[in-house]
């Protein structure tokens, strides 16, 4: 599992599935939702890494 996905799951985000190669992660207590494309083994694109970092930052607020 890519490091960024592990970071999301450690922070409490839950994978609720998705369509095709998209995965939806939600954090219920804050109402945050993040959709990532690509398979779990794919390398993250720069904009996806930025989205994950922002989601982790928003979680800590």
Domains of the chain: 4-60 (3.30.920)
38 Ramachandran zone, left/alpha/beta (phi>0; psi -120 to 50):
left
Tens of pLDDT along the chain (61 residues) come to 566 777 888 888 899 999 988 999 999 888 889 898 887 667 778 888 888 888 888 887 7
**pTM of the predicted model over 0.85:** no
Distance CA 61, CA 47 (A): 21
Q: Tell me the Cα Rg of the chain.
A: 11
Determine the longest span between alpha carbons in the chain, in angstroms: 32
Confirm if 58 and 11 have CB atoms less than 8 A apart.
Answer: no
């Amino acid at each position: 599992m890519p490091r960024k996905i592990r970071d999301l799951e450690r922070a409490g985000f839950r994978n609720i599935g998705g369509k095709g190669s998209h995965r939806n992660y939600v954090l219920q207590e804050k109402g945050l939702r993040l959709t990532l494309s690509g398979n779990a083994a794919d390398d993250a694109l720069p904009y996806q890494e930025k989205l994950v970092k922002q989601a982790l930052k928003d979680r800590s607020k």
